[in-house]
Structure 1
Amino acid sequence: MLEEMKMELSLHPGADFIYADADGSSDKQVNQVEKMLDKGIDLLIISPNEARPLTKIVEQAYNKGVPVIVIDRKTASSLYTAYVGADNYQLGLMAGTYVGASLKGNVNLLEIMGLPGSSPAIERDRGFEDGIRRYKNIRIISKVYGNWLKKDAEDQLVKINNLLPGVNAVFAHNDVMGGGAREVFDRQGLPRTTKIIGIDALPGPGGGLQMVSEKVLDASLLYPTGGKEAITTAFHILNKESFEREHILQSLVIDSTNVQLMKMQWSRISNQQKDIEKQKGLLEEQEAVYNSQQVVLNIIIITLVLAIILGGLAFYFLMENRKINKSLEVKNTEILEQRNQLMEMSVLAEAATEAKLNFFTNISHEFRTPLTLMLSPIEELFQNEKIIAIAGRQLKMVHQNIYRLLRLVNQLIDYRRVEYDKQQLLVSENDLVEFLRDIVESFKHHAGKLKIELKFSHAEKEIKSWFDVNMLDKVFFNLLSNAIKFSPEKGQIRIHIRKDESQVYIDVADSGVGLSPDEEIKIFDQFYQVEHHKGQGSGIGLSLSKEIVQLHGGTIDVHSQKWKGTTFTVTLPLGAQQFNEQQKSNIPLSHDEISEKSKIYQADLERIGNLELNEAFGTPKEYSLLLAEDNAELLSYLKEKLSEQYDIYTAANGNAALNEAFEKVPDLIIADVMMPGITGKLLVEKLKSDVRTSHIPVILLTAQASMEQQIDGLKSMADMYIIKPFNFAYLLANVQNLIRNRLKLKEHFSSDISGDMDKLPYSKNLDKKFVNDFSGIVEQNLSNEHFNVDDICKIIGISRVQLYRKVKALMGCSITDYILNRRLKKAKHLLINENYTIAEITYMIGFSNPNYFATVFKAKYDCTPSEFKKNKFH
């Protein structure tokens, strides 16, 4: 087998062939296969030592995607790519037939079997018994296991030497054991009249062919090794070509009549292989000579080309150098003129930038007035219990977002002052411990509502330091707000202050989601926001905090571990040496002012509870919607408004939305463009390219308002592209319109699927293909009375639920109704146009009983099939 493999592999010089011999040990063979799989082989050829012990590792390789060719012997499983080998049952049957036909008179037969449990031994024994069953003169007096080995076979025969004189025929499962049997018989002095038949007929010294030729064996059944066929099949598999999964090799009986012919054929094949290898070696030598000559020739050509190029370049640069020297004087003059122009433009640019910044600051100031005018009436409405009962959630949402806008405006103004105006601090000496205690106290109410433990500790009762009260509080407002925002329920936040001889350190530590190393590096960058947080933010707060701390001559650092919490450390110098006299003042701490200012930073901490819609005992709606939005408040708002008319499914990110769409198959999907995981546009592309969801209309919501962005959204195959902020009535009207249009398409699809599909007014090619495939499968199986929904699912490759919803969405009917209607329509056609009997038509359209067919036909067309055929009614 190995020689045949090497012969065939000589025609494939690029293949790397790894070979291992298990020496008859199943455990060793399992370890060898495991090592080969770890190396990353492309294909495994295995001859299992035993069936069951090797089944698990063969299945493991097959399940990993590695093609497996089982050769010679099978495993106890069908999980393999191909089998190459002889039919061991057929070999046993041929051996039994040969013994019965060639031996006359009463035959006492001894059978020497292979390894217990191996598939060849089992199948050869079964085939042999079937082969001799019709010969009444043959009796098997004993069976022994030789384990495929000569010595083991001899040992077993010695144990039953008292039976050997009466044996006049031996069937050995291979030639090696047959040869061992002959030696035992000779040592016992028994005459050579005992016929010994083996299996394998291998060529070469000591092989079965030589044993038959030397009359050690009377006959041997050729067991084709299959080495050549295994390699051929392997390359068919690797090259993605068709191959035969069960390659059964043919056999024949070799005895004294044909043994010399077989030996001559093998000798000829061996000589041809040696000639091939010799020619291959000569070709390799010629190729090496050719390659070396080619390298020398290439070097000579490259040298000549480089010499010509370098000579040309030298002449060219000489000429260019003269031109450059002449033009340098002209360029120097131009550069001086351009420098003067740039200086003038720089002055103008600074003026323009200053104007823009002034406008930016002024418009930010203008935002404060309308925000204040909105905030005061909203807070008055909170005092009215009747209004709170009717619209409490909506008022809380408006109130929360007003504070968010106010904080954003304040941060933008502060950022402008610090970054561009280089605002001067007004510092005063105050107690940092008392200052931080007031700030922590202002957040304790919200922390308690969220079941977050907020604890303030200090190493000393009082720590005097110089700082700007109206600027430094923004740093700790922001740090505490973020800590609460990113902490889970029942989390912990620790604020600790300590000092040494020259500096004071304030740690703000939380047990929240933490930061990855990449996020930790970027956290103080302008407008950077962590991706996993669903709350709103601008990305200004920490950048502004860093600027304020640096104005105080201090630093702010972060230390975090993903999913284990974050610690921000603010370091401030003690004393006032870093401030000049103009920056010093006597501004005292104001407890009430700190509490009032903290409200702006607590807006994001107010978690508005979702409206619980108790639909457990409600009536299911006719249509369902899937809402995909990462903003929890907007998601809750849309769910509350749309749940009055539709069943609502929700998803907080793109990946969850995709899974929900595949599982629930809603009638329409509303998705945000920017979401964690996959974006809204990518979600649409995946939905529209999958046969399970390609029919579902999708509305994209986005803040990207430019015309190019809208066009890009529609190119992603979205059905609508609505810009935020949007009018809910407009959104609802579009939802109703898309569902209404979908109903019209259903009517077209369900009217008569067998018509011309190209004329259907539908634009989705994937849905056309689905309907074509579905109707074609039904038409091909109308005569099959056992045809059901599971058969369609297997052919198309989707689940029952997805198939039901897809057919219902596109065709407006159930699968069972559609199949029944198609059968009755075909019956109607056959009754009108063909000359079949009612019984024949019954079975042609998949009904098992003519009476049942007549009942269903009459229920559909108000007449029996016989009456219909008689009147030609349609």
Structure 2
Amino acid sequence: MNRKQDDIYTIGFVQAMTTDNWRKEMNRAMQVEASMHPGFNLVIKDAQNDVARQIKQIEEFISEDVDILIVSPIQSVPITPVVEKAMNAGIPTIVIDRKIDGSNYTAYVGANNVEIGKNAANYIVSNSDQNQELKLVEITGLQTSSPAFERSQGFQEVLANHENINIVATIAGDWEKTSVGNHLGSILDSVESIDYIFAHNDRMAMGAWEMARSKNLEDSIQIIGVDGLFGPSGGIQLVKEGILTATVLYPTGGAEAIKLAIQLLEGDQIAKNNLLNTVVIDKLNVDIMQNQFNKMNQQQNDIEQQQTVIKEQVITYNSQSNLLKIMAGLILLLLLLGTWAVYLVFKLKKRKRILELNNAKIITQRNQIEKFAEQLKISNEVKINFFTALSHEFKTPLTLITSAIESIAQNPHKQLKEFAYETNLISKNSGRLLRLINELLDFRKLESGNFYLKPLKTNLYEFIRNIYEDFQSEALRKSIDLKLEADNKGLMVYVDRNMMDKVFFNMLSNAFKFTPKNGKVIISIKENGQEKVDVLFNDSGIGIPKEDFQKIFDPFRQAGNNTKPSSGLGLYITRKFVELHKGNISVSSHQGAEFKIELLQGKKHLSEYKVSEKDLKLQQEESEKLLDSNFIPEELPEPINENTETILIIEDNEDLSYLLKKRLLAEYNVELSDGSDAIEKALAIIPDVIICDIHLPEKNGFEICNELKSDLRTSHIPTLILTALSDKESKIKALRAGADTYISKPFNFEILKESLRTALFNREKLRYYYTNKIDQVKDNAFEDSEQTFLKKLNHIIEKNLKSTGFNVEDLAQQMEISRVQLYRKVKAIMGISISDYINSQRLSKAKSLLQETHLNISEIAYEVGYTSPGYFSTSFKNKYGSTPKQFRN
């Protein structure tokens, strides 16, 4: 093909419409790709979804004799003749996205729409039980377009092999979400339990979701779309937000079309059909895809900026060339300008080479994204866990501080000494927050290399003994045997006392955190004969898995068996501080954990630092002490009224559980659990309300709530989730587990009290419903666990009503729960004892027999289980105000 004037090729592109983001992205991809190839001019015309307008625009390009034509047909059949006209005129024509009715074109670029339909169907099949009957609705695109026909063809071809999956309805859309609403609404009203909706693009899928939401069906129907665009309203974002279950990536092919056009114009051979790869995007890979697009967009922006710089330099170069022509007579100036021009050419080529290298890097990075995706996912999970744990670490002390301040503020006339526990909480938890902040600052300094040792000559035994003494009260409280042993109590070492105080303090804190009551913690100081000293910390706690020995010293990481919230920075900072002293730290585990810190004696290894020989008197830094108070909480009194409602608080933070108990005892009977015996304690006492934290040592709050709500004996108990987590996902998870209320830390105590009152008030309203209207509910769809329990209870009582020996023990045995649990369950639901309820059922049956039969009084008494007609008459009169005979008359 001959070059035109100025060596410029013209590529004409007729776009179907630009009313949606997918088409705009196609245009953008073409423009970016064309800008990377000097000598090629791209002209875009928009048909605005008008077939006649598109035909006219194609004919304009034919009359302008463009070098190559690219067409995205609105409809296949009407566009075919004009495309053939272009081919007959000798203009190579590339068809993109939608096909024409025939094969008279140079090349086709686009995704395999049949394969897209198959991918959607295979996704539904792979995520469904083979024996499960599924109902599907398909929403197609414009019927006259090839993608709509081919996607439907591929979708139905796969489902034809699965008899348990039925397409109950097909809606003919027009690619816009407004074409979905009314028709889909009618289908949702007439067809029950639709499982999936497959829409041919994400916009119609969004319309389907909005209609499902209007009928409260958005959680029961899974919606799959097509396009997978990146951006605020694109399919990827919709999947991430949970609006769509999945979307099938439908690449625009804009860049690929330009590449094919350039290959054609440069005389290369190209394939007739150029199909683009596609993939299903769901919750498993949506973060990976979004990160990939973010990276690609950033790199594309960099390329565009560099191209702008190149264009500016080209303009500069052209202006200099013109100046050279004007000043041809000035030889000296011509030489200078020539030198400048050569420099610019060199710089331009260098920039161009940089662009080519960057483009190659982009291609390489695209290929590496899948390889790095798993590592990125693991890294993200580790950091998310770090911030979640850090949030819990901050919010629990904040909760204790704010609750204590509220208690003081609500009682301004009391003496300060009466708030000794509250003021101690404020002081202790303020210190905790300060330590957390200092830990983060130490981490930042270590990462930036800004720590500088200040070694002091130090008696190692006395130094550690000061820290050891701070833990003695805690050891006494938890019944932990704490010992400090040393071969040489006069051993001197050179250390930065501030750093090593944090190291040894962190070691003891970890040992106490994971050592149970009645356990052991032993500190040993030993010389190993190589001018080294070993400091050993042994505990009888849960130990550390062998595979985690190295991982626990990395930032944000912790042992796999550690269920306690932690920032994951403590051991990392400890290792770094020890290494700054040219020492080493290691761990082993056998019936507990043993950390060994190895320090060098003498000061040769610290020659780069200024070493002080003064053995300064050791001082305790109060701001660095975790156990900064020996305050022992007073014993709380037992509730005066035995009939007071019982609250079970499941919280592993002893300070918080004690404070909640102290503030609630005035109105409620309060029981405590640290989480290890939560289920057993709830079953034993059957409380009226449960307050439960999420981060607990064994089962988390979600699991405990779900287990109690699933157990017939405790399903009626209102549950309040109290936690440091405030994200939407955690709230939804708590509500799905059966929680009645979700309260985030730090919380206002009055809000907690009102939540408790509301829960008890709602339970009282349900008592009236269960005792007065249970028989009015006939539709099983409205039953809950309490209604099922009462219907079973009534059925057993009705069946045994005639038996005079039938009692509470017999009823409990047939209900398969203990007598105590039956009593507490019935008392909680209906407010009366089980024996009174059985007697009420006997008298209610007797009342019906008096009205509907001709049995005499004695026969009716025996029929409902009374051994004495006289006692029956007395009981009947006490309940209904008249004797059985008077009632019948």
TM-score, normalised to structure 2, is 0.51
How far did 1:398 drift?
A: 1.2
Q: State the shift of 1:416 in Å.
A: 1.1
Give 1:701 deviation, angstroms. Answer: 1.1
Q: 1:410 to 1:436 in 2, by over 3 A?
A: farther
1:802/1:426 CA distance change after superposition, 3 Å: closer
Distance (Å, rounded) in 1 between the aligned partners of 2:817 and 2:532: 65
> Which whole-Å deviations, capped at 9, do the CAs of 1:10-56 have from their partners, x for residues lacking one?
xxxxxxxxxxxxxxxxxxxxxxxxxxxxxxxxxxxxxxxxxxxxxxx
For the residues of structure 1 that align with 2:359 and 2:589, how far apart are their CA atoms? 51
Task: Tell me which residue corresponds to 1:423.
Answer: 450
Output the CA distance in 2 between the equivalents of 1:681 and 1:409. 30
Match of 2:747 in 1: 726
Deviation digits for residues 134-164 of structure 1 (CA, Å, limit 9, x no counterpart):
xxxxxxxxxxxxxxxxxxxxxxxxxxxxxxx
Matches of 1:589 and 1:538, distance apart in 2? 36
1:551 aligned onto 2:580:
yes
1:442 and 1:391 mapped to 2: Cα distance? Answer: 28
- 1:608-638 deviation digits (Å, cap 9, x = unpaired): 534412328x331421111111111111111
Query: How do 1:746-785 and structure 2 match up within 5 A?
Result: 746-751=767-772, 753=774, 755-758=775-778, 765-785=784-804
Q: Does 1:571 align with 2:593?
A: no
SS in 1 for 2:448: coil
* 1:505–1:569 contact (8 Å) kept in structure 2: no
- The aligned counterpart of 1:302 is none
Which amino acid letter does the alignment assign opposite residue 700 of structure 1? Answer: I
Structural mapping, 1:135-284, within 5 Å: none
Match for 1:390 among 410, 414, 418?
Answer: 418
Pick the aligned partner of 2:829 from 807, 810, 814: 810
- Counterpart of 1:431, as a letter, is K
Q: Deviations over 1:784-841 (max 9, x none)?
A: 2222222222222111111111111122222222222222222222222322222222
Distance 1:792 1:706 in 2: 45
Which amino acid letter does the alignment assign opposite residue 437 of structure 1?
E
One-letter code aligned to 1:500: G
| Contact 2:801/2:842, CA 8 A, preserved across alignment | yes
Residue 444 (structure 1) aligned with residue 464 (structure 2): no
Out of 862, 868, 875, the residue aligned to residue 849 of structure 1 is 868
* Contact 2:651/2:693 (8 A) holds in 1: yes
Change beyond 3 A, Cα 1:481–1:849: closer
Equivalents in 1 of 2:500, 2:833: separation in Å? 68
1:519-578 alpha-carbon deviations (Å, 9 max, x no partner): 655442334456888987533222101011122322111233225xx4322223455565
Q: Measured at CA, do residues 621 and 808 of structure 1 come closer, stay the same or move farther in structure 2, by a change above 3 Å?
A: closer
Cα distance, 1:556–1:323 mapped onto 2, change above 3 Å: farther
1:740 counterpart = 2:761: yes
Indicate the residue corresponding to 1:585 in structure 2: 610
2:767–2:829 CA contact under 8 A, matched in 1: yes
Alpha carbons of 1:777 and 1:545: their partners in 2 closer, same or farther (altered >3 Å)?
Answer: same
Give the C-alpha shift of residue 854 in structure 1: 1.9
Residue 532 of structure 2: aligned partner: 504
* Change over 3 Å in CA distance of 1:678–1:469 after alignment to 2: closer
Greater Rg over alpha carbons, structure? 1
User: Does the CA-based 8 Å contact 1:536-1:604 persist in structure 2?
Assistant: no
Pick closer, same or farther for the CA change 1:732–1:546 going to 2, 3 Å: same
Instruction: Tell me how far apart the structure 2 counterparts of residues 841 and 852 of structure 1 sit (CA, whole Å).
Output: 12
Structure 1 residues 454, 794: closer, same or farther in 2, change over 3 A? Answer: closer
Aligned partner of 1:822 in structure 2 is 841
Q: Please give the alpha-carbon distance, in whole angstroms, between the structure 1 residues aligned to 2:554 and 2:782.
A: 47
Kindly provide the CA deviation profile for residues 320-341 of structure 1, in whole angstroms up to 9, marking residues without a partner as x: xx999xx9xxxx9987223678
1:506-545 to 2 correspondences below 5 Å: 506-513=534-541, 515-518=543-546, 520=549, 522-528=551-557, 537-545=566-574
- For the residues of structure 2 that align with 1:559 and 1:764, how far apart are their CA atoms? 55
1:562 partnered with 2:584: no
Corresponding residue of 2:813: 794
The change in CA–CA distance for 1:727 and 1:449 in structure 2 (over 3 A counts) is closer
Task: Decide which moves more: 850-859 or 467-476.
Answer: 467-476
Matches within 5 A, 1:634-645: 634-645=656-667
CA contact (8 A) 2:583 2:597 kept: yes
Instruction: Name the CA distance, whole Å, in 2 between partners of 1:829 and 1:796.
Output: 26
Percent sequence identity is 32
CA distance in 1, matches of 2:738, 2:489: 64
Provide, for residues 235-292 of structure 1, a one-character-per-residue CA deviation record: whole Å limited to 9, x for no partner.
xxxxxxxxxxxxxxxxxxxxxxxxxxxxxxxxxxxxxxxxxxxxxxxxxxxxxxxxxx
SS at match of 2:523: strand
Gaps of at least 5 residues in structure 2 are 1-268, 275-352, 366-382, 409-413
1:535 and 1:610 mapped to 2: Cα distance?
24
Q: Does 1:623 align with 2:645?
A: yes
Kindly state the Cα deviation for residue 721 of structure 1 after the two structures are TM-superposed. Answer: 0.8
| 1:329-348 alignment runs, 5 A limit | 336-338=357-359
Q: What amino acid maps onto 2:750 in structure 1?
A: A
The CA RMSD measured in Å over matched residues stands at 4.1
* Structure 1: stretches of 5+ with no match in the other structure: 1-321, 345-355
1:587 CA displacement: 4.0
Aligned to 2:589, the other structure's residue is in SS state strand
- Please say if residues 720 and 743 of structure 2, whose CA atoms lie closer than 8 Å, have aligned partners that are also in contact: yes
The structural deviation recorded for 1:722 is: 0.8
Trace 1:321-470 onto structure 2 (pairs within 5 A): 336-338=357-359, 387=415, 389-418=417-446, 420-428=447-455, 430-432=456-458, 434-444=459-469, 446-447=471-472, 450-451=475-476, 453-459=482-488, 461-463=490-492, 465=494, 467-470=495-498
Provide TM-score, normalisation by structure 1: 0.52
1:553–1:578: 8 Å Cα contact kept in structure 2?
yes
Taking the aligned partners of 1:438 and 1:863, their CA distance within structure 2 comes to 87
Q: 1-side partners of 2:701 and 2:782: how far apart?
A: 21
What's the secondary structure of 1:508's corresponding residue?
A: strand
SS of residue matched to 1:613: coil
Are residues 569 and 868 of structure 1, via their aligned partners in 2, closer, same or farther at CA, if it must alter by over 3 Å? Answer: closer
Are 1:868 and 2:887 matched, yes or no? Answer: yes
CA shift in 2, pair 1:464/1:509, >3 Å: closer
Q: Distance in 2 between matches of 1:402 and 1:578?
A: 38
* Count of aligned pairs: 501
Q: Does 1:701 align with 2:728?
A: no
